[in-house]
Structure 1
């Protein structure tokens, strides 16, 4: 169990000082727990013995074990496909059916990891006409980001998918205004350039919305909203199926909640869209 899940599971049993400590740890997770016990005590304004009792309450033997668990989570977030592959996976029935069953199970988990309230807040942010929307993913996960940006561009103006070339990013960073949105998709083997982009966006007072995995991209430290989706498939490749399902749910809700505007935008889009015949002339 992840440390943050241990904390959540014990939330109702925590004392007032322990709740303060939990808030301090989760506000900068997992990095807040990687400092000395004295530094964490000073930051959370609790005593070192209170931290020891808190760590025991969430099922860990002591502060060293607490830190070892956090470090293990950080390492898990950096594992490559070569490290994930075990080579002895048991397949139930045919390979295709087994794979789809695993992906379907992870999709079911994703609906529990994201509350309806958070889902609604993010949809509202992305459809707010006062905000410009900037979207980008990592080396592989940008395919998920592109899926969102393509649909949003057909619903509203002011949506920008940042190109992969980081030399062009300053133009987009300088364009960002206070409360504009940067939607970032970053799964394990997190991309340092994306982290720097989100830091720059936050400095511009843009709101960062992050889609990531359960180990949490470092971008989470700068995000106003974090969408954690399961990615483990039990194979050497992580699965993006749950992430795509969440993206499609976001796009569909926005379109249906603003159908008149969406319909007008799509009609205008289609009226000026180049066809294959147009491009060949």
Structure 2
């Protein structure tokens, strides 16, 4: 098994520091692993000893031994005929539309490599908790992702809502958060200060946090219980939200399967209520 495969495989036994290191290594693979212990620790926002302990858990006696194995894998990959063919094939394409779609497919592939399966499972498990209240928060450009997720959550489970960043004049909003709350946050690069501040304050109140962010990671990643990373680069001058949308839809699919009959019963009840509302509106129109 390669180092990258070990990182992608993940484990429920990983500490929060381990998860941050894994995400940094996968987000900038293999470059991050070729820097010093201190550099990797700083980018992962963990301590130097945390990095050393992590590579030992991967099966290496020391950080230099880890780097030696990583360099061997990089050398093998760089001389791979498949890699050479892939580069040549991409450089000769003149189809802009096709290139963009190829880029989209590449973003989705990279997302699969960036995120250990355990992060996805943790997020689905948190959202499936019937005793928690779910609040979904997005920034200026990711607000629509937050709203889209909440629309689906509302069909599958009770007690969900979207919120805006909490303003200084709204202390009552902050006071209402506690240990039964789960905050789902969308925060991509050019991270939004009021979104970050809201997450930090809500966390201090005891709430859990699930985060959708990019490979460079919002500062919220330090306090999140689960994070999904989405590559955002595209041929356009604008960052792509394609992977973020795919990830939230994957979470919805996983949650639907996890809730099973309970979700089906809720959707049926909501359909009946919608029918009652339509019938009442028709009667009002006739009057």
Q: Provide structure 1 residue ranges, at least 5 long, that are not aligned to the other structure.
A: 34-39, 46-52, 60-89
Name the CA distance, whole Å, in 1 between partners of 2:104 and 2:169: 36
Decide which of 252, 277, 281 is 1:278's aligned counterpart. 281
Q: Tell me what 2:226 maps to.
A: 225
SS of residue paired to 1:226 = strand
1:126–1:133 contact (8 Å) kept in structure 2? yes
Mapping of residues 14-163 of structure 1, within 5 Å: 26=41, 29-30=43-44, 92-163=93-164
Distance in 2, Cα, partners of 1:169 & 1:140: 23
Instruction: Return 161-170 or 250-259, whichever deviates more.
Output: 161-170
Using the alignment, how far apart are the partners of 2:213 and 2:279 within structure 1? Answer: 37
Question: 2:269 aligned with 1:268, yes or no?
Answer: yes
Deviation at 1:168, TM superposition (A): 7.9
1-structure distance, mates of 2:51, 2:245? 37
Secondary structure at the aligned position of 1:181 is classed as strand
**2:25 equivalent to 1:5:** yes
**Contact 1:10/1:58 (<8 A) preserved:** no
CA contact (8 A) 2:137 2:163 kept: yes
Q: Aligned-pair RMSD on alpha carbons?
A: 3.9
Cα drift, residue 116 of structure 1: 1.9
Q: Deviations over 1:197-216 (max 9, x none)?
A: 01111111111111110111
Secondary structure of the structure 1 residue equivalent to 2:217: coil
Secondary structure of residue in 2 paired with 1:160: strand
SS at match of 2:231: coil
TM-score (norm 2): 0.66
Task: Quote the offset at 1:264 in angstroms.
Answer: 1.2
Rounded to whole Å, the distance in 2 between the matches of 1:12 and 1:238 is 26
2:196 is matched with 195
1:55-85 CA-partner distances (Å, limit 9, x unpaired)? 9x869xxxxxxxxxxxxxxxxxxxxxxxxxx
